[in-house]
Structure 1
Amino acid sequence: MSENVQQRVEHRHWILIACMLAMFMAAIEVTIVATAMPTIIAELGGFSQFGWVFSIYLLTQAVCVPVYGRLADLWGRKRVFFIGTALFLLGSVLCGFANSMGWLILFRAFQGLGAGAIMPLTSTIVADVYSPKERASIQGWLSSVWGVSAIIGPLTGAWIVQHFNWALIFWVNVPIGIISMLMLARWLPPHHTEHPQRLNIAGSAWLMICVSALLVALLQAEALGYWSLAFLVLAAVTGYILLRHEQRADAPLFPLAIWRSKVIVAGNAGNLIIGAAMMGISAFLPTWIQGINGGSPLQAGSTLAMMSIGWPLASTLSGHLMLRTSYRFTGQLGAFMLIVGTALLLTLRADSSVLSAGCFAFVIGTGMGLTSTTFLVSVQNSADFHIRGICTASIMFSRMLGSALGTAIMGAVLNYNLLQRLPGQQDPVQRIMSPGQRAEIADHALDQMITQIAASLHWVFAVSVLIALLSWFVARGLPKRRPE
């Protein structure tokens, strides 16, 4: 597939700023809400539904990403971006008026429906207005938004709930989204489709059912128990129906050109792996800091912040590396850093310093920044204009699916090890992480519990290493050339 020669777009810097604002708005949503959740639960109640506030947002976002990507190719980037952002802002406003946990979960679903458009379309719009050679560095700027939001989000959320009503954490998105939409309305040129097509409604429906069933089974496996098998069966059946439908459809959701390109397949496989490996850090490293080291939530958050700092720095660096070396070298260098970082986690001990854990997280973030940006740019530079939207969306979707898979796999590994090492113990991790419950455990029993939980977490980190190793082999599928 070759690059379409696009007419030079004026005011590209304003378009880039608008996209960065929109991506920041969606990226900060998860971290800012997480900080405010204790305050929200204290007022609305419904602690048992706590997990659904996050799961429903991620679920609806992931389900809609491929559909929005295809719509962007058929209807135009600007129109679909406005639809998604309007949904996101509507959900944000409604969340602030929620008077029960049930209503909050419903309105978070609306937010997710909109966020599913924002993430892939901002990257696609930027890819449209910049040349293949320029994308290498520009996508690094977009990636830096994630690092900034990961640091600003918790601090802003804590400050808002301390001085204002918690509803403001949702409403703060509204002016940012409106400014972004106004800027794109002013400077982003309209998209003209030479061969307009209708959206594949049947394919979209089967895709949504399949992805929803799969993500519910993965994200809620512990709560569902054996019922999760029923959701997996539903996902498998609808996935098979979707595959057969795509083979016969006149306008498939995923054009065959996507799967004929080794670069696009490698990019999707790479982001699936990155998403899975990332969960070994985001979900389980804070457990080590607070449970094994006896650290505070602030120390655990600071450790993760180191990964958030390494990611955007490496994303920016990846653009320069690609232009001087090749896609493959940059991707394999990132994979090497990811392997080294996850392997270093295996050296953690109960007396290891929080600084050591933070340094390891920084190395992992560096690896993720190099690999994720390289995979994205290589895919966008291999895709024609008329399928670039769905190709970019598939990259985002692969990472989300990888995160869900990684959470399920590593959670199962941890639970299995705890069951074998601490039989009969009721939720041992929660007991050592709660200061009150930890103080009630005898010293000898506490040492034994910490030792067994640490060994169980080491198995989780070992799985992260194996997943990171896969990224090295996938990166070998990238071209040995520079962006041109």
Structure 2
Amino acid sequence: MPYIIAPSRPLIAALAPPRSVRGSRHERLPAAAIPVDQMPENSTLRRPFIVAAIMGAMAMIAIEATIVSTAMPQIAGQLGDLHLYSWVFSAFLLAQTAMTVAFGKLADLYGRRPILLIGIAIFLAGSLLCGLAWSMPSLIAFRLIQGVGAGAIQPVALTVVGDMYTVEERAKVQGYLASVWGISSVVGPLAGGLIIQHLSWAWIFWINIPIGILAAVGFVVFLNEDIAREKRSIDVLGAFLFAVSVAALMVALTEVGSSTSVVVSALAVSIATGVLFVVQERRVRDPMMDIALWLRRAIATANLVTLLSGMTVIGLTTFLPMYVQGVLGQSPLVAGFALTAMVLGWPIGATVAAKNFKRFGLRPILLFGAALLPIGASAFLFLGPGMSPLIAGFGSLVMGFGMGFLTNAAIVIVQSSVGWSERGAATSSNIFARNLGSTLGATALGAVFNLSLAHGGGGALPASLDKIQALLEQPGAIAADPQTQTALDHSLNLTFWAMFAVAALTFALALLVPKAQAAAATVRVPETAAAVPEAVPTPEA
């Protein structure tokens, strides 16, 4: 399931208050900015074209998961090495998560446009190579390259939106961005099926190339940043250590239950490089990750809420289809519709949330979304054999609404708490939290499911996962095996209880998110602030 995470300017560039105005009326503002009424008209006219380019770039990432999953059985059949199947997906997420933070920092140092163009170029190179893959290991290697590109595109594209629009202006834009994920989740499987049926599977990846080129042209033509750059060093060693530490952690989480030796080795590498990373960040003058930034209350709490919500959603997308098919005895199509309810609710919730930022405030919107997660998750606690899949669809829809409200408010809270020169790093921290939450959720909830299936309980006997997988491939087969159906029902019910607990914890942590001041982009910059040497786009950009 995609995450909603969220031109040359009207860039409403934010500038942190200087030390000389501490204690003045400017100190309480989350970020000072160029006044909206001083921005040239022609730059405002550019914004729709930049948003269109952002939507094109985001669409490449959004459609990737669904279109590839549809075609993977045929691809694996041709390339072989079926045991590496899951790594085609894990490699992409691993590289994307590991590189997100580094590219967010680079966007703050060198501007948004060059990093976006680099990200698109890397992603398209990976897409081209994926279509030329001759084996499963080569495909996995090229998917890593794709993931690196995605790690640049997603956080920086959302940062541009935060630069261009005030909180009050984001309703339509956030709705457009949210719709990209919703449409992609529907179009992806359809396009994947058509391509596999009529063309070579290579076009599953090559379809990105014209979209990426058009997006890049849009950024080159319309996103014109005039950055006053400072000579600043790049913490290459810090970026490398962080990427290795995160990648090793992702490997360990992915391999839990498969290979103990790999898990232990990967965890050792992750811890060792993580310690070296912390030492490096404390030593250098301009660290890759500003730990103080990550520990600010608004950013730390919003990111923790985002991480837990990611764990909740991955549980729903992973286990709901299995329950609808295996326990309720419905077809894969019905299971897909039950999950699609969340996909539809998410962009609708995001759009409604953005339209009400000014009316209710960011924190109440976040709390409302967080409250909807356990409410929606509670519907799955009462599911049982013979019940209507509409109950599952309703719970899925409510959770989709909740995620739309929560993720939209969280990213705006994070972006509004910093100035222009830190917005890339802050935005990437939120997206990193989402991706890490997905991996942690898949591991933790998967462990609950596997352990309960292996040990039975609640009147259910232990069951073989291999047997369940075989029966799921035959419509109605599990319903004809009451013992297996009971075991699956019991295991998934415990998994849903774990998912509900994570959703409830999400709401509890949301209560700790401080009240945000959202109207930073409309205030005037004091004269003293204008003299602060910072990489800020000029008004005429």
TM-score tier after normalising by the smaller chain length: over 0.9
User: Which one is further off, 129-138 or 296-305?
Assistant: 129-138
**In structure 2, what is the Cα distance between the partners aligned to 1:282 and 1:424?**
22
Q: After superposition, where does 1:210-225 map in structure 2 within 5 Å?
A: 210-225=245-260
* One-letter identity of the residue aligned with 2:220: A
Q: After superposition, where does 1:128-139 map in structure 2 within 5 Å?
A: 128-135=163-170, 137-139=172-174
Cα 1:189–1:4 change in 2 (3 A) is farther
State whether structure 2 residue 344 is matched by structure 1 residue 309: yes
**In structure 1, what is the Cα distance between the partners aligned to 2:171 and 2:431?**
17
Q: What per-residue deviation string (whole Å, max 9, x for no partner) do you get for residues 177-222 of structure 1?
A: 1111101101102251443322211111110111011000111222
- Name the counterpart of 2:533: none
Aligned-pair distance for 1:162?
Answer: 1.4
**In structure 2, what is the Cα distance between the partners aligned to 1:88 and 1:27?**
13
User: Which one is further off, 112-121 or 216-225?
Assistant: 216-225
Of 23, 26, 33, the residue aligned with 1:5 is 33
Aligned-pair distance for 1:461?
Answer: 0.8
**In structure 2, what is the Cα distance between the partners aligned to 1:112 and 1:307?**
25
SS in structure 1 opposite 2:200? coil
Asked whether the equivalents of residues 86 and 114 of structure 1 are also in contact (C-alpha less than 8 Å), the reply is: yes
Q: Structure 1 or 2: larger helix share?
A: 1
Aligned-residue Cα RMSD (Å) equals: 1.9
State whether structure 2 residue 232 is matched by structure 1 residue 197: yes
Of 227, 242, 247, the residue aligned with 2:262 is 227
Q: TM-score, normalised by structure 2?
A: 0.85
- Name the counterpart of 2:279: 244
- Name the counterpart of 1:144: 179
- Name the counterpart of 1:45: 80
Q: After superposition, where does 1:52-131 map in structure 2 within 5 Å?
A: 52-131=87-166
Q: After superposition, where does 1:161-310 map in structure 2 within 5 Å?
A: 161-310=196-345
- Name the counterpart of 1:425: 464
* One-letter identity of the residue aligned with 1:464: M
Asked whether the equivalents of residues 297 and 514 of structure 2 are also in contact (C-alpha less than 8 Å), the reply is: no
Aligned-pair distance for 1:138?
Answer: 2.6
Which fold has the larger relative contact order, with Cα–Cα distance below 8 Å and residues 6 or more apart in sequence?
A: 2
**In structure 2, what is the Cα distance between the partners aligned to 1:226 and 1:411?**
19
- Name the counterpart of 1:390: 425
SS in structure 2 opposite 1:99? coil
**In structure 1, what is the Cα distance between the partners aligned to 2:134 and 2:416?**
47
Structure exhibiting the larger radius of gyration computed from Cα positions: 2
**In structure 2, what is the Cα distance between the partners aligned to 1:42 and 1:227?**
26
Of 385, 398, 403, the residue aligned with 1:350 is 385
Cα 1:296–1:380 change in 2 (3 A) is same
Asked whether the equivalents of residues 167 and 358 of structure 2 are also in contact (C-alpha less than 8 Å), the reply is: no
Cα 1:295–1:266 change in 2 (3 A) is same
**In structure 1, what is the Cα distance between the partners aligned to 2:235 and 2:421?**
16
Asked whether the equivalents of residues 325 and 481 of structure 1 are also in contact (C-alpha less than 8 Å), the reply is: no
* One-letter identity of the residue aligned with 2:366: G
**In structure 2, what is the Cα distance between the partners aligned to 1:343 and 1:423?**
26
Q: What per-residue deviation string (whole Å, max 9, x for no partner) do you get for residues 313-337 of structure 1?
A: 0000111222111112111111111
Q: What per-residue deviation string (whole Å, max 9, x for no partner) do you get for residues 380-399 of structure 1?
A: 11111001001111111100
* One-letter identity of the residue aligned with 2:203: L
SS in structure 1 opposite 2:275? helix
State whether structure 2 residue 442 is matched by structure 1 residue 435: no
* One-letter identity of the residue aligned with 2:474: P
Cα 1:191–1:257 change in 2 (3 A) is farther
Aligned-pair distance for 1:56?
Answer: 0.7
Q: What per-residue deviation string (whole Å, max 9, x for no partner) do you get for residues 111-167 of structure 1?
A: 111111111111011111112432355334322211111111111111221122211
SS in structure 1 opposite 2:257? helix
Aligned-pair distance for 1:260?
Answer: 4.6
Q: TM-score, normalised by structure 1?
A: 0.95
SS in structure 1 opposite 2:234? coil
User: Which one is further off, 40-49 or 57-66?
Assistant: 40-49
Cα 1:368–1:244 change in 2 (3 A) is same
SS in structure 2 opposite 1:199? coil
SS in structure 1 opposite 2:518? coil
* One-letter identity of the residue aligned with 1:36: A
Asked whether the equivalents of residues 336 and 367 of structure 1 are also in contact (C-alpha less than 8 Å), the reply is: yes
**In structure 2, what is the Cα distance between the partners aligned to 1:442 and 1:24?**
39
User: Which one is further off, 283-292 or 351-360?
Assistant: 351-360
User: Which one is further off, 112-121 or 43-52?
Assistant: 43-52
**In structure 1, what is the Cα distance between the partners aligned to 2:261 and 2:448?**
17
**In structure 2, what is the Cα distance between the partners aligned to 1:114 and 1:347?**
42
**In structure 1, what is the Cα distance between the partners aligned to 2:378 and 2:132?**
46
Show structure 1 runs of 5+ residues with no match: none
Count of residues in correspondence between the two structures: 480
Q: Give the % identical residues.
A: 38
